[in-house]
Amino acid sequence: MQVQQLLRIAGIGVLITVIVQILTRAGREDIATLTTIAGLTIVMMLVVTLVAELFTNVQSIFGLY
Partner 1 sequence: MQDFWRFAGTAVGMAVIALTLRGGHRPIGMAVSMLAGAALLLTLATPLREAADTLRALADGAHLPQGNTALILRMLGVSFAAEFAAQTCRDAQEESLALRVELAARVLLLSLAAPLLRQVAQLILELTA
C-alpha 39/C-alpha 59 separation (Å) is 30
Residues 13-42 that bind partner 1 (CB under 8 A): 13-14, 16-17, 20-21, 36, 39-40
The verdict on 3 binding partner 1 (CB under 8 A) reads yes
The verdict on 43 binding partner 1 (CB under 8 A) reads yes
Tell me, residue by residue from 46 to 65, as one string, x for binding to partner 1 by CB under 8 A and - for no binding.
xx--xx-xxx-xxx-xxxx-
Element at 16 (helix H, strand E):
helix 3-25
Three-state secondary structure along 28-57? CHHHHHHHHHHHHHHHHHHHHHHHHHHHHH
Angle between helix 29-61 and helix 3-25 axes, rounded to 10 deg: 160
Residues that bind partner 1 (CB under 8 A): 1-3, 5-6, 9-10, 12-14, 16-17, 20-21, 36, 39-40, 43-44, 46-47, 50-51, 53-55, 57-59, 61-64
